[in-house]
Amino acid sequence: MYLTLRGSYICCDCTNLREPALITPPMMELTKGIYKIQGLNVLDICKEFGTPLYVYDTDKISEQIQNLKNAFSDNDVRIKYAAKALTNISILKHIHSQGCGIDVVSINEAKLAMKAGFEPKEIMFTPSCVDFEEIIEGVELGVFINLDNLSVLEKFGKKYGSTYPCCIRLNPHILAGGNYKISTGHGNSKFGISVFQMPQILEIVGKYKIDINGLHIHTGSEISETDVYLKMSEILFGVARDFPSLKFIDFGSGFKVAYRENDNVTNIYDLGLKLGKAFKEFYESYGKKLELWVEPGKYLVSESGYLFVNTNVVKSTPSVTFAGVNSGLNHLIRPMMYDAYHEIVNVSNPDGGLKMYTVVGNICETDTLGSDRKLNEVREGDILAIKNAGAYGYSMASTFNSRLRPAEVMIKKGKAHLIRQRDTMEDLIRGQVIVD
């Protein structure tokens, strides 16, 4: 028996009574005509730090972490935040303070994580197609290593034998996820070692007596069906018996969050219940208790983030009214790259009449942030908030068109903190070698 955050007792056999944790009011709220985050007027934040501006609400991140912990509370769950979604060190520190580990995809992300206070043993390094030197560097740092290629496994075995444990990333040949570009577990994906290559894996592992301490599958982003994870887990459990020294199984991520109202999302509680149960059954027959790892990126940080932009121009043509803003695909590439939908709100004019707009950026290229959106009347100078900007926003930002990347602000305990300065002209010039 344990106490849920809502105060009702539930027993282990009827855990389907679980409900999502509600530890904070949800994110940006409109009260008395003012949009606020943690009680702070968002227009004041924009005035203080300028726009375009990324703003992150740490309460939302904490809430998502708590949701995951509750959902998987029947298992020894380890949350390894996928750093590539948002790598600001202050955010990493916050996530670390909430009891999470971290998944990194480059040696530089590993170093950022260590700068944020993560111990090497809390870091999982899951690289794809990197130079073997980078893996050696990972071993030297002392982080967990996740290998996804037979030739790399062979090199690893030759160099380390049984002296340094590693994890194997498998490709389960499942096509799932929101978009082909973000699907990583299908047969034609570059990720993971195909489950059909198990004989070769076992041969290499046997030859060098490699200590395999974990198995991993990550099938891509935005998977809403619990069944996909269950199917994936069956594949993992099927092969796991061939590896006697496992300590964990890593189910990756792909947990989907709502980008618009009524989006179907990953039901974390349903997943925790069903996957948790299957996992328990598996490790009981395997013979020892294993840790259950997950690697959420988007799930932890997407909804915590907002990109605030200023409306430079309102431009009406005979067919469309554009709101042209001081940002674009250089700062948030998801709409153009993945056809992603990001909700947009006019935070300067909450009482304005609703009109139709296409919100576009200032990049010289088709640069649409949102088409045909019903917004409260947009006037030049109005601030718009682009939602769900926490994941793959700043971390994919560029200086295309020689425009500067935005500043980042973290709201924590009701206070706004600058956590990254806006780029300056010097940043554009730094590193250039000027030759006549």
CA distance 336 to 66: 32
- ω into 199 cis (within 30 of 0): no
125 and 138 Cβ atoms separated by less than 8 Å: yes
The single residue among 35, 125, 255, 282 that binds ligand PLP, judged by CB under 6 A, is 255
185 forms part of the interface with ligand PLP (CB under 6 A): no
Residue 131 CB neighbours (<10 A): 10
Which residues form the catalytic set?
A: 364
CA distance 122 to 113: 9
The single residue among 24, 27, 84, 239 that binds ligand PLP, judged by CB under 6 A, is 84
144 forms part of the interface with ligand PLP (CB under 6 A): no
Query: Dihedrals φ, ψ of 103, to 5°?
Result: -110, 125
To ligand PLP, the closest distance from the beta carbon of 210 in angstroms equals 20
> How many residues are there in the chain?
436
Nearer to ligand PLP, 82 or 360 (CB): 82
178 forms part of the interface with ligand PLP (CB under 6 A): no
The single residue among 45, 53, 82, 204 that binds ligand PLP, judged by CB under 6 A, is 82
Nearer to ligand PLP, 221 or 327 (CB): 221
To ligand PLP, the closest distance from the beta carbon of 66 in angstroms equals 17
The single residue among 15, 64, 66, 126 that binds ligand PLP, judged by CB under 6 A, is 126
Tokens representing 127 are 């690289």
198 and 245 Cβ atoms separated by less than 8 Å: no
254 forms part of the interface with ligand PLP (CB under 6 A): yes
CA distance 317 to 61: 41
To ligand PLP, the closest distance from the beta carbon of 79 in angstroms equals 11
Nearer to ligand PLP, 391 or 407 (CB): 391
Rule CB under 6 A: which of 208-227 touch ligand PLP?
218, 221
Cβ neighbors of 173 (< 8 A, separation 6 or more) are 185, 186, 187, 194, 195, 196
Site track 384-413 with ligand PLP (rule: CB under 6 A), x = hit? -------x----------------------
CA distance 354 to 41: 22
Contacts with ligand PLP by CB under 6 A lie at: 82, 84-85, 103, 105, 126, 218, 221, 252-255, 295-299, 391
